[in-house]
Amino acid sequence: MDPDNRRPVDFAARQAALDSLAPWLDDPRPGETGRAALVSELLDAWPDGRIKLYLTARLLRARRHDPSVFLDGAYIPLQVDVPVPGGALAFARVHGPRAIVVLVPRLVATLTGVARAYPLGRDCWRDSRALLPPDLAGRTFRNLLTGERLLPTAAAPGAWLPLAAVFERCPVGVLESLEARDG
What is the per-residue burial (b if ≥16 Cβ within 10 Å, else e) of 99-119? bbbbbbbeebeebbeeeeebb
100 CB-near residues (< 8 Å, 6+ apart): 62, 69, 70, 73, 92, 93, 174, 175, 176, 177
Q: Which residues, other chains included, contact 85 with Cβ-Cβ below 8 Å and sequence gap of 6+?
A: 107, 110, 111
Number of domains in the chain: 2
For residue 54, the model assigns a pLDDT of: 94
Answer for the pair 58, 100: CB distance below 8 angstroms, yes or no.
no
126 SS3 class: coil
- pLDDT of 140 reads 93
Pick the last residue of a domain from 22, 39, 65.
65
Q: Is residue 114 part of a domain?
A: yes
Q: 46 and 125, same structural domain?
A: no
- Residue 157 maps to a domain: yes
Residues of the chain whose pLDDT is less than 70? 1-5, 26-33, 113-116, 180-183
Q: For the segment 19-69, what is each residue's pLDDT rounded down to a tens digit? A: 989 888 866 555 556 888 899 999 999 888 899 999 999 999 999 988 999
Residue-level pLDDT at 182: 43
Instruction: Write the DSSP assignment of 60-112 as a string of letters.
Output: HHHHHHSHHHHHTPEEEE--EE--SSSEEEEEEEEETTEEEEEEEEES-HHHH
Q: Domain for residue 4, yes or no?
A: no
How big is the CA angle at 163 (ends 80 and 118), to the nearest 5 degrees?
115
Give yes or no: residues 48 and 94 share one domain. Answer: no
pTM: 0.87
Q: Number of C-alpha atoms within 13 angstroms, CB side, residue 175?
A: 31
Domain that holds residue 34: 11-65
What pLDDT was estimated at residue 183? Answer: 44
Q: What is the pLDDT of residue 2?
A: 59
The reply to whether 34 falls in a domain is yes
Residue type, 39: V
